[in-house]
Each structure stands twice: as C-alpha cells, then as structure tokens.
Amino acid sequence: MIDSKAYDTPCLPYNKLLTDDGEPHSNRTLYRSVVDALQYLTFTRPDIAFYVHQVCQFMQKPMVSHFTAVKRILRYLKSTTDFGISYSKGDLTLHVFSDADWAGDPNDRRFTIGLAVFLGNNLISWSSKKQ
C-alpha cells in the first residue's frame, strides 16, 4: 500500500456494502488485523469513523469488496497524514450538528445517526450509532 494511489475521500459516494457481495476474502486474519488497527485510529481521526464502523460489520465473513473498501480508507489516510484533532483559542460558542440516515443500510434496514459537538472551532465530542 506504500506505493498505492492516494484518494481524496475515504469512500465512494453512495457506496453501500452488502453482506453477500461477491467472493469471500481469502485472508480473514489480515482483514481483521487491518480493521482493528483502523478502529484505534478513529480516536484521533473522526473523519473516518463512519467508514471504519461500516467495514467492522463484516468481520465474521469479509468479502473481497469489503477489503477493497478497507484499502480505500488506507489510501485516503495516505493523502491526509496531516489531518487530526487540534485545538485552538477562540470563542466559546457551542455548536451541535447531527444527521440521520433512516433505513439506509440495505442489509438490515436499520438507521444510522451521527452527532458532532464543537466548542468554538474545536471538536470536543462526536458519536455515531446504528439502531
């Protein structure tokens, strides 16, 4: 992956990962290892949290298309090594943003909700949940 092409986005727009999408991935251990490492990275990189949680849903039976999605996240990280959480002085205005995707998962028709809380320009809390 070191010499791979870098991407500007961690996922293709409107890309839905399906449970039985193509051929099974030949190396489950590799898939789990990479996805586990990405889970730790979401603590300081909330921009990839949603996409990492999407690929985490297929740990038991990963498909080749799921591993392709994981590789796209890695390529996005390659192009955004200077991204991360930083804090700066500024106003103390509290801003909260949320979004919901009702029945957006084609596998189980559950909805996903996301929330981000900013104090001034600083991200202080975020959450995403599938219900």
Q: What whole-number distance in Å separates Cα of residue 111 and Cα of residue 49?
A: 16
Q: What whole-number distance in Å separates Cα of residue 27 and Cα of residue 34?
A: 11
> Is 28 a member of any domain?
yes
Range of the domain at 62: 1-84
Q: Where are the alpha helices (DSSP H) in the chain?
A: 28-41, 49-56, 64-79
> Is 89 a member of any domain?
no
> For the sheet containing 122-130, what is the strand order?
94-101, 112-119, 122-130
pTM for the model = 0.70
Q: What whole-number distance in Å separates Cα of residue 66 and Cα of residue 30?
A: 12
Q: What is the pLDDT along the chain (131 residues), one digit of tens a residue?
A: 778 888 888 888 777 888 888 899 999 999 999 999 999 888 888 888 889 998 999 999 999 999 999 999 999 999 888 887 777 888 889 999 999 888 777 777 888 888 999 998 888 888 888 77
Shared-domain flag, residues 2 and 66 = yes
- Hey, what amino acid is at 110? R
Count how many domains the chain has: 2
Shared-domain flag, residues 79 and 108 = no
Coil vs helix vs strand at 47? helix
